[in-house]
């Protein structure tokens, strides 16, 4: 009961009715010895053996077998594909087809990676207990780049990691035991992740050497991921030519600097021929960047892109760029504006192997933020959407917070960049503007905790992330139900209860933390637990401008920072006007008196009180809901979650009391329901 297998456990189905049906196919027909296809074979063997009790045998003919292969490499797969004229599956898609005549199942794709994804899909079908009769599945990914960012440091710590220490590094070295990394690669590939950045975006001196001194070890990691069709990327330090190269400048237009990057890059490709490229955080939160030399982000990224270009590598340049000192005591500047203000004017200036990576919101992964107006706003520039799986501001994997509904909302958001229907999912996939490189990246939530994610239920966020980036059309229900069955098995009550907990979790958390989109209100630096006073008083404090009369950040064009003008069409007016601005984002866009009446009919202050009382109550109720599941799963799993939920319930009370007391003292307005006596 550790949770280590996550959604890839394959318990025996000896007593299920499907066993006889599945048993009839327990033979594999494979003709290619490609490494990734062999990975697919071993995954399938492992799964079948677990479920059926006996490993599959090698089939000499395709009858009564599972047939795996590429269209060009396995004659039977090629034949089936042509005969059935399955729709275009692209380089990474696949088809799974039940051949009635031969009583076989054919998993085919254009490339080995497609075969691997198809194999994992077939395993999912078997685990879900579905019938194989008439099975026809044809899939291709919506997003080309499906990436994970590790924020791991070589000292073994993980920035914003809440599940133990790094599985990659320890004491400024690579971990001796890379078995954990291999198991991680399995988890990622099983949900179609095809790229990973192996170190934190904040690159210290020691990690700068990943592309020089530590290359042999990086190459070992690349080999592990390669077997699972995952490309390896490294976060680089923009000042590397100085830090480790012995140069006196990192000016992107300096010929010696450019040469240094070219040589370093060539060195990488010598050891890792399929190296993915670089991820860069520059000119943000004290990281070095082109601004030091009066150059812009296009100059900086193009220099790296030029070095990578001959090898087919790419530069992913983050747009999380803002001056972390700017808002302090100054209400005229606005951190929310920064990414758009910096990057929008540079549209068209980036090389074609540069991708801009843009956080989903304009600030920083808050519980609630509007969608970043930069997404979709640069037609001539490649972009990827950046999400955060690790729960930095969403309870740090001590509180349950299921992120899939939030991500769905983001993906469905209409930017109006090319008129109605210009959704974020189309911007992210590149379809909106026809960009050649595009996709989605997210900050991982795993560490060396036995169950990977600290909170067992946080595994659902990693699983759901993978499923959603492959196919943003999947519904929240579909993803949730899949994860529950794959993790806990089939059980009616268990399904209903866990689903209820997951689907209510984000609303509950939101209600006892920062209200109405105002954000932060967390302890500076750790970002865990409530904190009340604002930026006016502390540099890394919260950001809500609450005083005795009112609260919120005025980002309107009429009287505020003008941030609303970065939105297009109806979005701009919707946020600008108090009449149309949605309640849940009200304080993100407007500064209002506590007595302002929401669309819900409540005043802002009464909403704050009510939400906090209700949220804490609902958090406590989760403990009871979970308690009711005892006996439906392994005791060890049950206990893990019980402990976290109890901590959450306690902590929710602290949130409730500190936030409510703060606003009561600020506003002097009593709770209409007179509940404070119970505090
Ligand atoms: C913030 C984190 C910080 C990261 C930064 C980033 O607090 O640790 O370095 O984002 O994304 O969310 O670069």
Q: What is the mean pLDDT of the chain?
A: 96
pLDDT at position 77 over 70: yes
Residue 392: CB within 6 Å of ligand 1? yes
Spell out the long-range contacts of 627-630 with Cβ–Cβ below 8 A and sequence spacing 24 or more: 628/493, 628/497, 629/493, 629/494, 629/497, 629/498
pLDDT at 325: 67
Integer Cα distance of 624 and 649 in angstroms: 11
Residue 283: CB within 6 Å of ligand 1? no
Residue 282: CB within 6 Å of ligand 1? no
Q: Which of 582, 576, 570, 573 is nearest to 417 (CA)?
A: 570
pLDDT at position 502 over 60: yes
Integer Cα distance of 144 and 237 in angstroms: 26
Owner of token pair 């984002």: 585
Integer Cα distance of 293 and 300 in angstroms: 10
Integer Cα distance of 310 and 576 in angstroms: 47
Integer Cα distance of 459 and 446 in angstroms: 9
Residue 610: CB within 6 Å of ligand 1? no
| Ligand 1 atom closest to residue 202's alpha carbon, by position in its atom list | 9
pLDDT in tens, 627-672: 999 999 999 999 999 999 999 999 999 999 999 999 999 999 999 9
Query: What is the value of pTM for the model shown?
Result: 0.97
pLDDT at 537: 64
Integer Cα distance of 155 and 200 in angstroms: 11
Closest C-alpha residue for ligand 1 atom 10? 364
Average pLDDT over residues 260-283: 98
pLDDT at position 535 over 70: no
pLDDT at 321: 87
Are 591 and 558 contacting, i.e. CB atoms less than 8 angstroms apart? no
pLDDT at position 491 over 60: yes
| Burial state string for 412-434 with b = 16 or more CB within 10 A and e = fewer than 16 | ebbbbbeeeebbbbbbbbbebbe
pLDDT at position 228 over 50: yes
Q: From residue 486, how far is each of 95, 129, 193, 489, 511 by CA, in Å?
A: 22, 10, 18, 6, 30
Q: What percent of the chain has pLDDT over 70?
A: 97
Q: Which of 539, 355, 513 is nearest to 437 (CA)?
A: 355
CA of 520 to the centre of ligand 1 (A): 13
Are 471 and 425 contacting, i.e. CB atoms less than 8 angstroms apart? no
- DSSP three-state, residue 111: coil
Closest C-alpha residue for ligand 1 atom 1? 364
pLDDT at 524: 86
Are 536 and 629 contacting, i.e. CB atoms less than 8 angstroms apart? no
pLDDT at 533: 82
- Ligand 1: which of 157, 162, 201, 238 to mutate, most ligand atoms within 8 Å of CB? 201
| Ligand 1 atom closest to residue 388's alpha carbon, by position in its atom list | 12
Residue 160: CB within 6 Å of ligand 1? yes
**Could you tell me the pLDDT band of residue 5, with boundaries at 50, 70 and 90?**
very high
Tokens standing for residue 105: 């199942």
Residue 2: CB within 6 Å of ligand 1? no
- Ligand 1: which of 323, 391, 392, 541 to mutate, most ligand atoms within 8 Å of CB? 392
Integer Cα distance of 580 and 369 in angstroms: 16
Closest C-alpha residue for ligand 1 atom 11? 320
176 phi and psi, to 5 degrees? -65, -45
Owner of token pair 């954990």: 180
pLDDT at position 330 over 70: no
Q: Is the dihedral of CA 510, 512, 517, 523 positive or negative?
A: negative
pLDDT at 327: 55
Residue 364: CB within 6 Å of ligand 1? yes
pLDDT in tens, 411-452: 999 999 999 999 999 999 999 999 999 999 999 999 999 999
Residue 352: CB within 6 Å of ligand 1? no
Burial, 661: exposed, middle or buried (Cβ in 10 Å; 0-12, 13-18, 19+)? middle
Residue 201: CB within 6 Å of ligand 1? yes
pLDDT at 305: 98
pLDDT at 331: 62
Quick count: other Cβ atoms within 10 Å of Cβ 595?
13
Across 94-98, 213-217, 534-538, 637-641, least confident range: 534-538
pLDDT in tens, 197-215: 999 999 999 999 999 999 9
Strand (E) or helix (H) holding 67: strand 66-70
Q: Is ipTM over 0.95?
A: yes
**Could you tell me the pLDDT band of residue 679, with boundaries at 50, 70 and 90?**
very low
Terminal-residue alpha carbon distance, the chain:
38
Q: Are strands 277-280 and 314-318 parallel, antiparallel or unpaired?
A: parallel
H helices present in 471-601, as ranges? 476-488, 492-512, 569-576, 586-589
pLDDT at 428: 98
Integer Cα distance of 537 and 566 in angstroms: 28
Residue 202: CB within 6 Å of ligand 1? yes
**Could you tell me the pLDDT band of residue 334, with boundaries at 50, 70 and 90?**
confident
Closest C-alpha residue for ligand 1 atom 2? 160
CA of 309 to the centre of ligand 1 (A): 28
Tokens standing for residue 33: 């010895």
Residue 365: CB within 6 Å of ligand 1? yes
Quick count: other Cβ atoms within 10 Å of Cβ 289?
21
Owner of token pair 């006016």: 536
Closest C-alpha residue for ligand 1 atom 9? 202
CA of 234 to the centre of ligand 1 (A): 17
pLDDT at position 677 over 70: no
CA of 175 to the centre of ligand 1 (A): 24
Active site residues: 285, 364, 392
Integer Cα distance of 87 and 84 in angstroms: 9
Integer Cα distance of 415 and 410 in angstroms: 10
* Dihedral angle over CA of 637, 640, 642, 648, nearest 10: -140
Average pLDDT over residues 483-502: 97
pLDDT at 329: 53
| Ligand 1 atom closest to residue 393's alpha carbon, by position in its atom list | 12
pLDDT at position 534 over 70: no
Reported as half-sphere exposure (CB side, CA atoms, 13 A), residue 651 has a value of 21
């Amino acid at each position: 009961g550790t949770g280590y297998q996550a959604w890839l456990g394959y318990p025996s189905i000896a007593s299920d009715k499907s066993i006889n049906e599945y048993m009839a196919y327990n033979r594999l027909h494979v003709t290619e010895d490609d490494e990734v296809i062999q990975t697919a074979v071993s995954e399938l063997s492992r799964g079948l053996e677990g479920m059926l009790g006996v490993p599959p045998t090698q089939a000499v003919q395709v009858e009564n077998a599972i047939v795996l292969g590429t269209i060009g490499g396995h004659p039977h797969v090629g034949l089936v594909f042509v005969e059935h004229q399955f729709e275009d599956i692209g380089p990474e898609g696949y088809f799974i087809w039940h051949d009635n005549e031969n009583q076989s199942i054919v998993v085919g794709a254009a490339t080995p990676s497609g075969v691997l994804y198809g194999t994992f899909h077939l395993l999912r079908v078997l685990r879900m207990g579905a019938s194989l009769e008439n099975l026809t599945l044809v899939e291709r990914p919506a997003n080309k780049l499906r990436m994970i960012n590790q924020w791991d440091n070589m000292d073994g710590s993980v920035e914003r990691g809440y599940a133990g220490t790094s599985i990659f590094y320890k004491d400024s070295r690579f971990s001796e035991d890379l078995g954990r990394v291999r198991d991680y690669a399995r988890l990622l590939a099983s949900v179609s992740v095809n790229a990973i950045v192996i170190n934190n975006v904040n690159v210290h001196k020691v990690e700068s050497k990943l592309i020089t001194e530590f290359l042999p070890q990086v190459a070992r990691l690349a080999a592990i991921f390669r077997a699972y069709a995952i490309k390896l990327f490294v976060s680089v330090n923009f000042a590397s030519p100085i830090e480790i190269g012995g140069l006196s400048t990192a000016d992107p237009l300096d010929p010696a600097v450019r040469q240094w990057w070219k040589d370093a890059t060539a060195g990488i490709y010598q050891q890792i021929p399929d190296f993915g490229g670089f991820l860069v955080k520059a000119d943000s939160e004290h990281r070095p960047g082109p601004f030091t030399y009066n150059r812009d982000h296009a100059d900086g990224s193009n220099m790296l892109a030029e070095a990578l270009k001959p090898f087919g590598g790419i530069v992913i340049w983050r747009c999380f760029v803002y001056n972390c000192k700017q808002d302090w005591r100054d209400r005229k500047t606005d951190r929310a504006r920064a990414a758009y203000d910096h990057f929008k004017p540079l549209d068209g200036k980036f090389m074609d192997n540069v991708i801009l990576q843009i956080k989903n919101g304009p600030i920083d992964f808050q519980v609630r933020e509007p969608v970043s107006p930069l997404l979709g706003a640069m037609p001539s520039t490649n972009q990827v959407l950046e999400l955060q799986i690790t729960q930095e501001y969403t309870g740090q994997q001590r509180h349950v917070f299921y992120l899939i509904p939030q991500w769905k909302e983001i993906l469905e958001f209409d930017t109006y960049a090319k008129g109605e229907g210009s959704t974020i999912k189309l911007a992210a996939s590149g379809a909106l503007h026809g960009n050649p490189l595009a996709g989605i990246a997210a900050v991982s939530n795993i560490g060396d905790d036995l169950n990977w994610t600290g909170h067992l239920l946080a595994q659902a966020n990693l699983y759901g992330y993978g499923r959603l980036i492959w196919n943003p059309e999947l519904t929240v229900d579909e993803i949730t139900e899949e994860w529950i069955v794959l993790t806990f098995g089939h059980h009616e009550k268990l399904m209903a209860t866990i689903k209820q907990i997951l689907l209510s979790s984000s609303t509950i958390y939101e209600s006892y933390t920062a209200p109405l989109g105002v954000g932060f209100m967390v302890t500076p630096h750790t970002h865990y637990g409530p904190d009340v006073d604002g930026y006016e008083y502390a540099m890394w404090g919260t950001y809500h401008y609450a005083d005795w009369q009112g609260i919120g950040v005025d980002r309107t064009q009429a009287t505020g920072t003008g941030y609303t003008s970065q939105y297009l069409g109806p979005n701009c007016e919707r946020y600008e006007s108090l009449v149309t601005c949605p309640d849940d984002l009200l304080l993100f866009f407007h500064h209002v008196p506590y007595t302002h009446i929401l669309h819900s009919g409540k005043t802002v202050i009464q909403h704050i009180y009510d939400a906090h009382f209700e949220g804490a109550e609902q958090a406590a109720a989760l403990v009871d809901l979970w308690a009711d599941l005892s006996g439906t799963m392994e005791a060890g799993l049950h206990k893990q979650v019980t402990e976290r939920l109890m901590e959450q319930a306690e902590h929710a009370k602290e949130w409730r009391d500190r936030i409510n007391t703060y606003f009561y003292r600020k506003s002097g307005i009593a709770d209409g329901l007179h509940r404070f006596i119970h505090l």
